[in-house]
A and B are shown apart, each in its own frame.
Chain A
Amino acid sequence: MELAEIKKRVHEPQATAILAGWSLAIGWIVLAIYWLLAFPLSGVIREYFLRSKAERDGAAVGSALLATLNQIQVTSAFLEPLKFVGIMFIITGIVFILLTILKTLKLRAAAMATLFSNRSR
């Protein structure tokens, strides 16, 4: 590979680097949504558990207490996998960065090979 070609390719934006950036950003957005839902839920949980067990267990259909329990259970159920979706995006971003490093290292190896072969001539 000629030096001019290497120079051109060094400055070319790499698809894996762009994907890494997007993946990290999406991961942070998903986790921010998770935090926005999970932190306030702890207040709802506190309100719910301030009632006696008899009151909690005896909550009638359509009552505010049962609606609170429903909110806690439904939100907790989807929050559990949601945080791992966020972490998945961040780890995917790491994989894409590693792929970008691999490509850049190959390019550096090509640059070294070209430079040293030019110098030995």
Chain B
Amino acid sequence: MNQNEQLAKYTPFEKMLMSMARTMWPMFLMLGFVIVLLAFLIVWNLSQTQVNFFFSAAKAVREGSDPAYIAAHRAIQVTSAWIPGFKFLGMGLLFSAITFNLANILGALREAGARVQKMLGAEIKAWKKTFVALMFPHFMMIGLIVLIIAFVVSLNLAGSASTYFNNPIKDVLDAAPSNSALVRQLAAIQQTKAWLEPFKFVGVTFLLTGISFALATIRKVVQFQTNRLVEIGEGK
């Protein structure tokens, strides 16, 4: 049975997924790799320049009205707002590349199983998909979408941080009265940071569960094929 004959047995959704898995894993791997590396380089550069500059001054100077220190503080806060979301997106793309490759292994296993059955002159029986097998591509997609949303929110958070931290710490930020516009802005920044962290882990959990479901499916396929070989041996 060639690849086209094998593909003819799949639903349009499965065909789309298999085609995506075959063609898109290198792009996901490369993108994930570049994003994580870029995040490291950006933070490394920030640590050597702005962080080094900011923390080499006395507290009174850092929190004063010198525009150079305000800019450094702002750069540190803005970067720390969007970089975690960016890193998680990179990791999500890498996890997705793993899932795509597991889907490729599954496709190859099913094709090989059909070939062996044909070679042995037996009726070609295909493994019936279970809930876990049907769900793993969805888990991967949900996980990745969650991480994309988290990244977009973290970009928005960086925008808010850029506005808020463009002020002297001691004279303006620390002196803002309760419920003032500045304090409400700080509360919104802190609140977003607080829910964004568990939200990113929702994405990671879905991606890791997708990987485990794909592996469980591989195990089920191998188990089915072993059972089929026994059946062929028994003349069924």
Chain A residues near B205: list those with CB within 8 A.
27-28, 31, 86-87, 90
B163 interface hit (Cβ, 8 Å): no
Measured between alpha carbons, how far is A99 from B75 in the docked complex, in Å? Answer: 47
Residue-wise, chain A 43-56 has the 8 Å CB interface mask toward B (1 for contact) of 10111111111110
Q: Are A35 and B226 in contact (CB under 8 A)?
A: no
| B10-18, B26-34, B175-183: which lies at the interface | B175-183
Given contacts A34-B201, A101-B219, is CB(A50)–CB(B226) below 8 Å? Answer: no
Chain B contacts with A in 178-200, Cβ cutoff 8 A: 178-180, 183-184, 186-188, 190-192, 194-195, 197-198
Complex Cα gap A49–B219 (Å): 51
CB-defined contacts of A39 to chain B, threshold 8 Å: 195, 198
- Chain A residues, Cβ within 8 Å of B184: 50
Query: Please, how many angstroms separate the alpha-carbon atoms of A47 and B178 in the complex?
Result: 11
Helix, strand, loop or mixed for chain B's interface?
A: helix
Q: Are B233 and A111 in contact (CB under 8 A)?
A: yes
Q: Is the CB of B194 within 8 A of A38?
A: yes
Please tell me which one of the listed residues A3, A11, A98 contacts residue B215 in the complex, with CB atoms under 8 A apart.
Answer: A98
Residue B218 at the chain A interface, CB threshold 8 Å: yes
- Across the interface, name the chain B residue whose C-beta is closest to A44: B194
Q: Is B208 a contact of A91 with CB atoms below 8 Å?
A: yes
Among A20, A86, A91, A111, point to the contact of B226 (Cβ < 8 A).
Answer: A111
Q: Is the CB of B219 within 8 A of A51?
A: no
Q: Given that A3-B234, A7-B230, A108-B229 are contacting pairs, would A90 and B198 also be in contact in the complex, using a CB cutoff of 8 Å?
A: no
- Chain A proximity mask over B197-217: 1 for CB below 8 Å, otherwise 0: 110011011001101100110
- A26: interface (CB < 8 Å): no
- Chain B 54-86 against A: per-residue CB contact (8 Å), 1 yes, 0 no? 000000000000000000000000000000000
Report the 4 A-B pairs with minimum CB-CB distance, sorted nearest first.
A42-B194, A38-B198, A46-B191, A49-B187
